[in-house]
Amino acid sequence: MAGSPTTGPPFAGSLAATQVAIYRDEGYLFPVPVFTADEAAELRAAFEAFEARWSDDTNLPRPFAQYLRDGMQVISPAADCIARHPAVLDVIESILGPDLMVWTCELLAKEPHSPKMLTMHQDLNYWGFDAVGQHVTAWIALSEVTDENGAMHFVRGSHRWGNVDHHDTFGADNILSRGQEVTVAHDPADEVVVALSPGEMSLHDGLMVHGSGPNVSDGRRVGVAIRYLTPSVRMHDGRDDYATPVRGDCSGAELLMLPVPAVDFDPETVPFHERMLVAHDETLGAGAAQPMVYDGVRTVESP
Ligand SMILES: O=C(O)CCC(=O)C(=O)O
């Protein structure tokens, strides 16, 4: 399969109980090594080949950036491959248990000298899940990730604050689709820079307050975020949503099952992906004054 690492995972295995305890206590854990530098380079090449093949395709019905930011595992075998890789799943299983689904897989790149950034926010505020503690984000570095090139910052312990108020900025350089930002202050001493080497991953809770600054370096910052959840997650308002089963028994899942692509933009999976995007336009855009924006391009009007 395109993008599949050619060597076995170097660090596959469960987290130690002490690591799980740190994750639960602080709301994040890093660095967790999951791929060698060579494997990370191979995965990065597969994602960048996808970008090269499709970024200029004018027949895509949505902004290309939206395809990178939502549900890549349904339209790219390279994304599906990393999202179900055993080295990653073994770690996620330590946090969520044996039955695992992927809600979405995203490519999060920042070009050299790009002002693109993400305001401090909590993911869970916008995802519409009815449960806390049943999901985790794995953010896998496919380049060096430093404060200079736009590493994430976490606010230690903020996963215990509950849902905090946000306002939408729709900032021109904001990668977030509505420029959402928490309205509460935090102690700068609690802010942690999530520096990673290629092949290392960070984990964070959906209530973790986090964001990231611009890339002021000469190199591209490349990361893949994968949102894992358990089959017990439901949408709080009974709306439809979708997920890809990747390990264990997900037959009783509340979310609808997504199929696996055999090729880029597989005609068999694209209709499911589009249904998923329509659901996310509604959920992630709920209450916003404008349609969501991906890389400066507005999505279709939310109903
Ligand atoms: O890639 C980034 O800089 C931030 C990503 C993020 O906010 C997330 O993965 O939840």
Q: What is the pLDDT of residue 177?
A: 74
**Domains of the chain, with CATH numbers?**
29-289 (2.60.120.620)
Q: What is the pLDDT of residue 137?
A: 97
CA of 275 to the centre of ligand 1 (A): 24
- What residue ranges line ligand 1, CB within 6 angstroms? 108, 118, 123, 137, 139, 150, 152, 210, 212, 223, 225
In angstroms, the CA 147 to CA 193 distance is 7
The region, left, alpha or beta by phi > 0 then psi within -120 to 50, assigned to residue 296 is left
Q: Whose CA is closest to 197, among 227, 226, 221, 225?
A: 221
Spans in the chain with pLDDT lower than 50: 1-10, 301-303
Residue 293 token pair:
């924006």
Cβ atoms of 105 and 172 closer than 8 Å: no
Q: What is the pLDDT of residue 152?
A: 97
- Rounded to the nearest 10°, the torsion over CA 86, 175, 117, 137 is -30
Q: What is the pLDDT of residue 255?
A: 94
Q: What is the pLDDT of residue 122?
A: 94
- Which pTM was predicted? 0.92
Q: What is the pLDDT of residue 298?
A: 59
Q: What are phi and psi of 82, to 5 degrees?
A: -70, -35
Q: Whose CA is closest to 133, among 204, 30, 70?
A: 204
Q: Pick the residue whose CA is nearest to atom 9 on ligand 1.
A: 225
Q: What is the pLDDT of residue 204?
A: 97
Query: What is the CA 267 to chain-centroid distance, rounded?
Result: 24
- Element containing residue 33 per DSSP (H, E): strand 28-33
Cβ atoms of 275 and 242 closer than 8 Å: yes
